[in-house]
Structure 1
Amino acid sequence: MPMEGKSEQNLSSNRELSLKLFVVLSKAYKVVMDRAIKDMKKYGLSASEFMIMELLYHKGRFPLQQIGGKVLMTSGSITYNIDKLEAKGYLKRVPCPNDRRVTYAEITPDGENWFGTIFPGHAEAIEAAMQGLTVGNKKLAIELLKQLGLSAQNGGS
């Protein structure tokens, strides 16, 4: 009987820790993202526009159909933001020569030059937001959060 009580206590303790982790993770994410978005807006871009530009700046030409999966946006949001960035002259749509169903987004030379001048400042802002952790703790947090994400993606098993 004492073993059952201990097991129930561990379950309750594990559940409480899981809930507390969820709350702490959510609050930390909100604070860090708020700082990042504030910095992105400084450059006249929405968070979605900035993430698309960052993807294209670092990865190059990218299929429109796959951008949403990389920057966590719906296809409707992708189209809207691609239109806005295209109107600003930062990117262009390029049809795939081998497959008419595929269209790429490609950063323009003007977009690449402009983003190349603003990205270092943004990287500094992100580094400042993460200054609460040592290099070792950042590496540990990356591994733990990857593990958590993969486990949650697989149904928590």
Structure 2
Amino acid sequence: MSEEIQYEQKKQDPSLKLFVVLSKAYRSIADQVEADIRKKGLNPTEFGVLELLYHQGEQPLQKIGDKILLASGSITYVVDKLESKGYLNRVPCETDRRITYASISEQGKDLLHTIFPEHWKQIEHITDGLSDEQKLQAIELLKQLGIHANNLKVEKK
């Protein structure tokens, strides 16, 4: 098969097109969300940690990275910054000295109460390019794609 024919097949391959479009859409949305978070005095990782603690309660430091997709070495740095700003507290485990929990402080809760409603509106604005029905369809399709990709990862282990 000639290179020209292979190139034409690649151009028409919906898998490749989906990957490119999905990547570009993610980058555009992530850039908008990050800009909104930075306007509120946080970086996306700090916001992610606070949001996790707010919605799921105190968490072992060792588990936070897995839940917000952050390398474990970065957790200490982020937690240190948030603690120095007064947004969270470290809580030693009473039964295992090796475990320390992060817990959102009252000041952290107040911050989220202040910034989250506007952040939510910004996310709604960013995603207004789709109707609610289209958003629900996209959620289901992207879930299927993510589950399939995750299962491929598991198969290779």
| TM-score grouping bracket, smaller chain normalisation | 0.7 to 0.9
The verdict on how the C-alpha distance between 1:100 and 1:15 changes in structure 2, with shifts beyond 3 A counting, is farther
RMSD of aligned Cα (Å): 1.9
User: For structure 1, which segment, 44-53 or 147-156, has the greater mean C-alpha deviation from structure 2 after superposition?
Assistant: 147-156
* SS of aligned partner of 1:98: coil
Gaps of 5+ in 1: 1-11
1:127 maps onto 2:124 in alignment: yes
* SS of aligned partner of 1:106: strand
Gaps of 5+ in 2: 1-8
- Deviation of 1:13 (Å): 7.3
Deviations 1:42-91 (A, max 9, x none): 11111111111111111111111111111111011111111000000000
Deviations 1:100-132 (A, max 9, x none): 222111001111112111111111111111111
1:49 maps onto 2:46 in alignment: yes
* SS of aligned partner of 1:154: helix
Measured in 2, the distance between the counterparts of 1:85 and 1:15 equals: 48
Partner of 2:73 in structure 1?
A: 76
1:14-53 paired onto structure 2 within 5 Å = 16-53=13-50
Measured in 1, the distance between the counterparts of 2:97 and 2:139 equals: 39
Give the percent of matched residue pairs that are identical in Structure 1 and Structure 2. Answer: 54
Measured in 2, the distance between the counterparts of 1:42 and 1:102 equals: 34
Give the TM-score, by structure 2 length: 0.87
Measured in 2, the distance between the counterparts of 1:101 and 1:140 equals: 44
1:1-157 paired onto structure 2 within 5 Å = 12=9, 16-155=13-152
Q: Which has the higher contact order (CA 8 A, sep 6+)?
A: 1
- Deviation of 1:14 (Å): 10
The verdict on how the C-alpha distance between 1:52 and 1:15 changes in structure 2, with shifts beyond 3 A counting, is farther
* SS of aligned partner of 1:101: coil
Matching residue's letter, 1:43: K
Matching residue's letter, 2:34: I
